[in-house]
A and B are shown apart, each in its own frame.
Chain A
């Protein structure tokens, strides 16, 4: 590859996110890397400006959720593939990193044994083969990417090859995560059964509940979210993104034009799964537990409503939706827990009926002037010739 091509790739990468977007991302980064750590670590607890442990944990968790929402928006909003099984990839990433965290406990568990507590409890003598090498953080991190990636690749290849799409694809992904949940519920599967992994003590040698570690994990989650936003923005603004939209809007026509949608769908699908896996790996040390209920169909479909609330096909909207819905969830489950499901159910119905473009769509409608400005000249270059070139 000659240097000019590389430069133009980089330039395209940087240009994909508009200037205002970079400003926003920079502010978010400043908040996450400087303001929150400072307020959490150095402002005394008594001060009203202090950011509590709980707030940092919730914010970190929501950043992970927002990453998942952006990943789902990439496949749903742009390629028209609604996955009701993204919770599976999230949980697989979490489990992959959880294995490392479990082994990092060492002999500090309840039974003070070499094996994790649940294995002692099951009277196992050695790690099953699935755990091989997970004492090395590097291999565990590789698994975080590999396991969701390979599962998504294999499943996607089978599903897309036989041209399963639309609602059929959605319900098959739902069945996939359901089956995986059942599998992980079994003790014999070797991942802690019902209880999953918990009681983590340290991560990369640092105590896991120390304020410094918490802030670092939070910052890493926000960084992941910002990186995902930039990466996805670049993808959807590129010719590749135009093909994805063509898949969404008229797959048969695209095929007539000589494109094979399989590879495009497979790539974006696998990428989305990998992003979810990484988010899951960041989520587990902050929440301190991973169990099979993360794979329940209800969890996965909730991700879809985050995206729908924020606005499909907007990326930033998906992240916004994840933040809004999860803040509402935190408030409801503390204040009026019995009303939460009513609220969530009504949200599903109301958003699909009255707010098909989500909050972002609503804002655009309310401020048409801004919308006109947002329609940059770049929007005009979507001709077929360019995409083919």
Chain B
């Protein structure tokens, strides 16, 4: 700790000097004919570690650094300025000549510039640079790290820098420095840190017993954190998978509950939603390039409307005639799904299309070191919560919802008291389809969009309906999230394929114990 405070003080002392100008003697060697001398000068400048040094080095790398007499000039477009003082020059002095570098020097320059990115004004660039430094740090970078630490205000970047510093110090000959470094590493949570600590625990690599002991306890701390991060990661990706399954299964549960028809083309309604998102993205790229970031928002009503329309057409033309023949409706809707897949293939091509995340959905939040939650998944979870809430309100609080529940409970009686059952069927089917379309839009943000995409999710969403029972939203929610999280955890243990098989086996065994999950049959199928 004291050493860090000391560093901070030193850094602050160095601050004003850095801010104004660069010591001209530092630049000397840059113009030398000898590559060795050039390299030494680059090293000195790198150790100087400030924005000015970075500017000089990047000018050198781009061939914009010129030499006139003993002055160094940086060309910025057609403007020139003095490299040491920063003073602008009206015109190029006589004999100004660009400094030429060879490949060896260029390589060294790239390394230095990468290191110096920890001084960039952009936080993201600094974060990435600090991350890169942590992976491949050497002792001679210690001064640069100290300087960067002294200027860094951002907590996330600081943490990475401290880690990088500790890893560099591990190579120090002083056991006390190494001990402090090992202790500092204990707060890390990356696989690289774990590997580094593991080498320190071995007697061959570390002569000092106290350091080895400290390394062991640090290692344990890092491993605990990694395990936690892994669990967080799995739970979260399970939740986001579950929320997509939920959007897919919600529509299925509604249509099955009301009409007793299982719609095998439900997966293709997901596909329609995803392609609607793609179409909106293409439209924005062509006509509204400025609003590109918000195409997803515009795509929400479009995806819903497209799938709603497809659902209503399907219901009116085909499914309406099959209410009393549930098994045949499986075949007819499978036929519809083949038609839709082939239409998508003809219209959009058999290849997957690219749907990009808007910028506000890319990136990630890190809640723990090394446990990051990608924004697109967070948005998807929030989105499905919103859709679920709206559906719940629609079913529970509106006239249409009341009609739907009435038809689910007793179709004949509902018809007798004046519920327009035919229209309710159509609207309910459209609603289920529209929700699936929203699910497809969500899916397009985390996976491929192609004609076959619906087929991948249809079996899973059936399992959700089977597990959750029909007619209760709560059952569908629990089943979807449970299946999502369980399959992500099983994937970690046994691989994706065995996880799917295990989930299927679980569903079959589960309904042995609780057939009412299955058999809360209402509507037309309650006859045996």
Partner-B contacts on A (CB < 8 A): 76, 80, 82, 84, 155, 158-159, 161-164, 166-168, 170-172, 174-176, 178-179, 182-183, 185-186, 250-252, 297-298, 301, 304-305, 308, 338, 341-342, 344-349, 351-353, 356
Contacts and interface: CB of A to CB of B under 8 A. Distances in A.
Contact of B504 (A164, A175, A185): A175
- The list of the 9 closest CB pairs from A to B, nearest first, reads A348-B335, A345-B338, A252-B528, A345-B339, A341-B342, A352-B332, A349-B335, A352-B328, A345-B335
Chain B interface size range = 35 or more
Contact of B334 (A76, A301, A338): A301
B246 to A, nearest CB: 18
B336 A349 contact: yes
Contacts of A84: 330
Nearest to B342: A341
Nearest to A297: B459
B329 A352 contact: yes
A82 B507 CA distance: 20
Given A82-B327, A353-B332, A162 B497 contact: no
A163 B521 CA distance: 12
A308 B325 CA distance: 13
B501 A183 contact: yes
B129 interface: no
* Secondary structure call for the B interface: helix
Contacts of A155: 508
Contact of B497 (A183, A342, A345): A183
B339 A308 contact: no
B341 to A, nearest CB: 7
B497 A168 contact: no
Given A338-B346, A353-B332, A161 B497 contact: no
B519 A163 contact: yes
Interface of B: 262, 264, 318, 321-322, 325-332, 334-339, 341-342, 346, 455, 459, 462-463, 466, 497-498, 500-501, 504, 507-509, 511-512, 515, 518-519, 525, 527-528
A345 B264 CA distance: 12
Contacts of B527: 252
Nearest to A308: B331
Given A167-B262, A167-B327, A182 B332 contact: no
A150 to B, nearest CB: 16
A84 to B, nearest CB: 7
Given A252-B528, A341-B341, A353-B321, A182 B500 contact: yes
A161 B330 contact: no
Given A168-B518, A179-B500, A349-B318, A344 B330 contact: no
A386 B318 CA distance: 41
A251 B528 contact: yes
A264 B459 CA distance: 28
A168 B327 CA distance: 10
A158 B511 CA distance: 9
A342 B331 contact: no
A170 B501 contact: no
A298 B268 CA distance: 14
A297 B330 CA distance: 13
B326 to A, nearest CB: 5
A163 B346 CA distance: 42
A338 B337 CA distance: 16
Nearest to B314: A349
A305 B336 CA distance: 13
B335 A347 contact: yes
B350 to A, nearest CB: 10
Nearest to A178: B459
B338 A348 contact: yes
Nearest to A339: B342
A55 to B, nearest CB: 28
Contact of B342 (A76, A342, A351, A353): A342
A80 B325 CA distance: 11
9 contacts: A162-B518, A183-B497, A183-B501, A252-B527, A301-B264, A305-B335, A347-B335, A348-B338, A349-B339
Contacts of B264: 301
A345 B508 contact: no
A361 to B, nearest CB: 13
A344 B330 CA distance: 14
A175 B462 contact: yes
A164 B332 contact: no
A318 B455 CA distance: 27
A155 B335 CA distance: 27
Given A171-B462, A176-B504, A183-B501, A301 B331 contact: yes
Contact of B330 (A82, A178, A250, A347): A82
Contacts of B321: 353
A356 B466 contact: no
Contacts of B518: 162, 164, 168
Contact of B332 (A76, A171, A348): A348
Nearest to A344: B338
A171 B519 CA distance: 15
A84 B264 CA distance: 12
Given A171-B462, A251-B528, A252-B528, A161 B512 contact: yes
Contacts of A308: 328, 331
